[in-house]
Chain A
Amino acid sequence: MSEGGKSGFRNKSKVQRNIFIVVMLAWPLLYFAVFGIYLQIQTVLFSFQRWNYVSGKQVWVGLDNYRQAMKELIGGSYWRTGMTNALLFIPVNYVLITLSILVAVILSRKFPFASFYRIVYFFPTILSIVVLTMVYQFSLHPTNGIVNGLLGFLGLEDWQRSWLGERQTAFPAVIVYCLWAGIGFYNVMFTGALQRIPIEYYEVGKLEGITFWKELFSVVLPAIWPTISTFIILGTSGAFLVYLQPLLLTNGGPNHSSTTAALEMFQAVLGAGNYGMAATFGIIFAVIGSLVTFLVKRAVDRVDTADY
């Protein structure tokens, strides 16, 4: 009897355990099923459909959207500019990472006001992007902006221009904005990584009498390489997601010259309600993006890291 009771209890506890596991897993799994799997499948389906506004139905059009998309990418439409600009954001993100490491290394030295400057660099990160873009727009304003004002003050009137309104400068201005606004966040990440380097490494270096550059390349960079490689991969895949900055700064203009792949998709959905084409380009860019990211990851993984 006592034995039966025991095993009964055990069975019961097993059931309860399973209930526990199911309950604990249900929410994250449901969340993943809806926002992870369902939306992806929906996007794939949308890319084979088009909106028939006479019948008010999504209709299947086979590969029409993909044919159209290829035509636009090859024929040189706004989508191609968007894709080129998205690809350009990959090196931009690498420059951003390089600058952030430099700033972090410099600010990690003990010199007066180092922590003040760290706050200065981090400050843009805590402000809303809308506020930041407005500040940036004001400073580049063609008639009242501080940039043109300074150039005039320095006697460089020839250099004054409508920075966000001219084809030659609009996209570079968006890039400069991304560097300016992005450096703070990366800087904090790299500062954290730098602080984890054991002090003995530096001391050995000092005893050997190595220079700043030697220390940077032989001690600091290998030690923080795991952090760097993570951000290189994130920076690569993130390049395909940039849209808010050009949307707020230039609305992709002039004549779509500062647009990005993600911004064109955004406008295809919200401006024209064209879910089919937006989904098609979404899938095409996702394929290109994963391919590029995969190649970059392979290259990054080849570099040896220092273990400590």
Chain B
Amino acid sequence: MKKPFFSLIAIVLILGLILAGCGSKNDAGAASESGTPPAAKGTESSDSADQEPVTLKVAFFQGGYGDVWFKYLKEQFEASHKNVTVELEGSPKMGEIIVPRIEGNTNVPDVVFLNGLDQMKKWGPSGKLVDISDLYATAMPDGKTIQDTATETALHSQQWLGKRYSVPWSQSPLGIVYNVDIFEKNGWTYPTTWEEMEKLANEMKAKGIAPFTYPGIYAGYLSALVFPAYTQFGGDEFVNKLTNPQESDIPDLYKDPAFLKTYTQLESLFKNGWIMKGTQALDHTASQMEFLNGKAAMIFNGAWMENEMKDSIPEGFRMRIMPIPPTADAKVKEMMSVADSRDWGGIPSASKHIEVAKQFLLLASTEESNRKFTELTGAPRAFKYAIDGMNLSDFTKSAIEMLSKYKTVSYIYEPQAIGDGPSGVDFYAAIASGDMTPQQVIDKNVGAAPDKWKEQQKTINSK
């Protein structure tokens, strides 16, 4: 008799709990429903009454640009769309935490701003992002269109297989940031050729100043040198072949002297002892701190650095960012910098407020928003806009000058391309650590290219 009695009680208890759970949920729902109208009423009086309240969730990569610009956009958007509440979610790890959410359709935001085009290229064709090609021709609040105002690099980067799933965000140039005080004190000027740079680096070394540093554990920062060098040594023809190769180019493309010259130039930094001692153990913050403390005269870095370090920059510290000077044997003898438009804003298809999200992207792309972005973060956006009358730091001015006055490079690979390292060797790291010579890296790439090409063809042609 006892057992059934107990199980009966247990069932009642469980059912009770379940019902209680439902009940409280209903209550909560009712509460929030009954809670919103008064709040909405206040806004309805100033706006049309038929618009229901919308919460627009905006998730963004909170890196070097911080969150100030998004706070500004929230304010602006809420002011012009009275029924909308913008909910911001920023994280330095957004690029990682958003992946399972978008791919698993859980807790998907209405707008995402991320760095790195790979995810856009993955999510676009698979239907996880809304095709917003039409948005480029839609008039923004200031009457212009994205098509007309975005930079050429941005228009080239922010498309995939003939469609557009994203609007450009920043156009972040990478180059060499130098310590103006060290240069002025020693009567040095920023060199215009690589030979002058070599001379300067040796002079610095002789004086006990480390010429260069960079975020050593993230070897990718060395692309500040490598990408301009590819173009300087190889010219446009080489770059075209690299980014849009045909079967006949494989593997000879990887024997191009531009590779050997570039990698030798990269190796020389380490071989000649121009890189600050201990650099390879430092992350971005630590190496940038060393630079700000005057331990190195120059650092390979990007236009976001000033904003990223704004709490640590010593009073009166002066720095400028400059492009990479060409060598005497370069095909294109121009100073140039990498200026990718690799970060983007898009709309996940799972969003319930796609139209509102489109309005948000349009507002984020107006001239006013672009100017505000530069003013708040010190970095240029991937749009053409005037910067006159703005209160900018010398560093920001130098970054904008680098974009407007000098040649910029950006590598956008076509689907069949197999990149600049088909062997999968992390060649920045291999050369920086001295584990491989430039020739060894090239031999590996030439050897691996045919297989990689076949594999790539198989992958993109498989159904």
> Within 8 Å of chain A (Cβ to Cβ): is B290?
yes
* Contacting pair A56 B277 (CB below 8 A): no
Q: Name the B residues within 8 Å of A142 (CB-CB).
A: 277-279, 281-282
A115 at the interface (CB under 8 A from B): no
- Compute how far the CA of A50 lies from the CA of B460 in the bound complex, rounded to whole angstroms: 10
- The smallest C-beta distance from A21 to any residue of chain B, in angstroms, reads 9
**With A167-B433, A253-B219 in contact, is A77–B463 under 8 Å at CB?**
no
Q: Using Cβ atoms and an 8 Å threshold, which residues of chain A touch B430?
A: 255
The answer to whether B429 has its CB under 8 Å from any CB of chain A is yes
Whether a CB of chain A sits under 8 angstroms from the CB of B218 is yes
Task: Determine which of B118, B125, B218, B433 lies in contact with A251 in the assembled complex, contact meaning CB atoms within 8 Å.
Answer: B218
B293 CB to closest chain A CB, in angstroms? 9
| A265 close to chain B: CB less than 8 A | no
Which residues of chain B have C-beta atoms less than 8 A from A17's C-beta?
3-4, 7
B289 and chain A: residue at smallest CB distance = A144
Proximity bits, A24-57, B CB within 8 Å = 1, else 0: 1000000000000000000000000011111111
Q: Please tell me the number of chain B residues within 8 Å of chain A, measured between CB atoms.
A: 47
Complex: A57 Cα to B14 Cα, angstroms = 44
**B14 touching A253 by the CB < 8 A rule?**
no
* Cβ-closest chain A residue relative to B124: A56
CB contact under 8 A between A141 and B286, given known A166-B280, A167-B433: yes
Least CB distance, B70 to chain A, in whole angstroms: 23
Any chain A CB within 8 A of the CB of B217? yes
A20: chain B residues at CB < 8 Å are: 7, 10-11, 14
Contact across chains for B433 and A255 when beta carbons are under 8 A apart: yes
In the assembled complex, which residues on chain A have CB atoms less than 8 Å from the CB atom of B3? 13, 17
Chain A residues within 8 Å of B122, by CB: 51, 53, 56, 273
A270 touching B99 in the complex, CB below 8 Å, given contacts A53-B415, A54-B125: yes
Please report the C-alpha to C-alpha distance between residue A28 and residue B14 in the assembled complex, in whole angstroms.
Answer: 15
B424 and A251 within 8 A (CB): no
- Looking across the interface, which residue of chain B has its beta carbon closest to that of A248? B283
- The digit string for B121-140, where 1 denotes a CB below 8 A from any CB of A, is 11011110000000000000
Q: Which of A102-110, A157-165, A193-201, A231-239 contacts B (4 or more CB under 8 A)?
A: A157-165
Is A140 an interface residue, CB under 8 A from the partner? yes
Indicate if A23 sits at the interface (CB-CB under 8 A). yes
Known contacts A165-B282, A255-B430, A273-B118: A56-B127 contact under CB 8 Å: yes
Q: Do B119 and A251 touch across chains, with their CB atoms under 8 A apart?
A: no
In the complex formed, the residue of B with least CB distance to A148 is: B278
Are the CB atoms of A61 and B462 closer together than 8 Å? Answer: yes
A95 sits at the interface (CB 8 A):
no
Say yes or no for B176: interface residue by CB 8 A criterion.
no
Which residues of the partner chain B approach A53 to less than 8 Å between Cβ atoms? Answer: 121-122, 125, 415, 460
Report the minimal beta-carbon distance from A266 to chain B, rounded to whole angstroms: 9
Does A256 sit at the interface, judged by CB under 8 A?
Answer: yes
State which of A13, A78, A256 has its C-beta within 8 Å of the C-beta of B4.
Answer: A13
Task: Decide: B462 and A50 in contact? CB cutoff 8 A.
Answer: yes
Do A57 and B217 touch (CB < 8 A)? no
Which residue in chain A gives the minimum CB-CB distance to B463? A59
Min CB distance A68 to B, Å, is: 8
Measured CB to CB, the nearest residue on chain B to A269 is B99
Q: Is A260 an interface residue (CB 8 A)?
A: no
Which A residues touch B429, using CB under 8 A? 253-256
Closest CB in chain B relative to A50 CB, distance in Å: 5
Whether the pair B7, A164 counts as a contact (CB closer than 8 A) is no
Residues of chain B within 8 A of A13, CB atoms compared: 3-4, 7-8
Q: Indicate whether B371 reaches chain A with its CB closer than 8 angstroms.
A: no
Q: Tell me the bound Cα distance from A257 to B126 in angstroms.
A: 36
A250 within 8 A of B: yes
Q: Is the CB of A143 within 8 A of B295?
A: yes
Q: Nearest chain A CB to B19's CB is how many angstroms away? A: 13
- Whether A77 pairs with B125 at a CB distance below 8 angstroms is no
Which of chain B's residues have a CB closer than 8 A to the CB of A137?
A: 286
Give every chain B residue within 8 A of A165 (Cβ-Cβ).
216-217, 278-282
A61 and B458 CA atoms in complex are apart in Å by 9
Asked if residues B432 and A23 are in contact (CB atoms below 8 Å), the reply is: no
In this complex, the interface size class of chain A, counting residues with CB under 8 Å from chain B, is 35 or more
Give the CA-CA distance A269 to B430 in the complex, in Å.
22
- Scan residues 177-232 of chain B and give those whose CB is less than 8 A from a CB of chain A: 216-219
Asked if A303 is an interface residue, CB under 8 A from chain B, the answer is no
If A50-B459, A53-B122, A54-B415 touch, does A162 touch B127 (CB 8 Å cutoff)?
no
Q: Report B-chain residues with C-beta under 8 Å of the C-beta of A255.
A: 426, 429-430, 432-433, 435
Q: Tell whether A19 is near chain B: CB-to-CB under 8 Å.
A: yes
* Known A-B contacts A54-B415, A255-B433; A143 and B278 likewise in contact (beta carbons under 8 Å): yes
Closest residue of chain A to B428 (Cβ to Cβ) is A255
Residues of A within 8 A of B426 (CB): 78, 255-256
Q: A50 contacts which chain B residues (CB < 8 A)?
A: 459, 462
Residue on A nearest B286 in the bound complex, by CB: A141
**Least Cβ–Cβ distance between A92 and chain B, in angstroms:** 21
Assess the B219–A59 pair: CB atoms within 8 A. no
Chain B residues near A230: list those with CB within 8 A. Answer: none
CB distance from A140 to the nearest CB of B (A): 7
Q: Which partner residue on chain B sits nearest A68 by CB separation?
A: B455
Per the 8 Å Cβ criterion, residues 146-170 of B in contact with A are: 161
Chain B residue with Cβ nearest A164: B281
How far, in angstroms, from A165 to B389 measured CA to CA in the complex?
A: 45
Is B96 located at the chain interface by the 8 A CB criterion? yes
B225 → chain A closest CB, angstroms: 17
Is A254 in contact with B11, judged by CB distance below 8 angstroms? no
Check if A16 is an interface residue, CB within 8 A of chain B.
yes
When C-beta atoms are compared, the residue in chain A nearest to B460 turns out to be A54
B124, B219, B424, B460: the one within 8 Å of A52 (CB): B460
Where the two chains meet, the residues of B that have a C-beta atom closer than 8 Å to any C-beta of A are 3-4, 7-8, 10-11, 14, 95-96, 99, 118-119, 121-122, 124-127, 161, 216-219, 277-283, 286, 290, 295, 415, 424, 426, 429-430, 432-433, 435, 455, 458-460, 462-463
16 contacts between A and B (CB under 8 A): A16-B7, A17-B7, A19-B11, A24-B14, A59-B463, A137-B286, A140-B281, A141-B278, A141-B286, A142-B282, A165-B280, A250-B217, A251-B217, A253-B216, A253-B280, A270-B95
Question: Which residues of A approach B to under 8 Å, CB–CB?
Answer: 9-10, 13, 16-17, 19-20, 23-24, 50-57, 59-61, 64, 68, 72, 77-78, 137, 140-143, 162-167, 170, 250-251, 253-257, 270, 272-273
Across the A-B interface, give the 10 residue pairs with the lowest CB-CB distance, nearest first: A142-B278, A165-B281, A56-B125, A13-B4, A56-B126, A165-B280, A162-B278, A164-B281, A255-B433, A255-B429
| Other A-B pairs beyond A13-B7, A142-B279, 5, CB < 8 Å | A52-B459, A64-B455, A162-B281, A254-B432, A255-B426
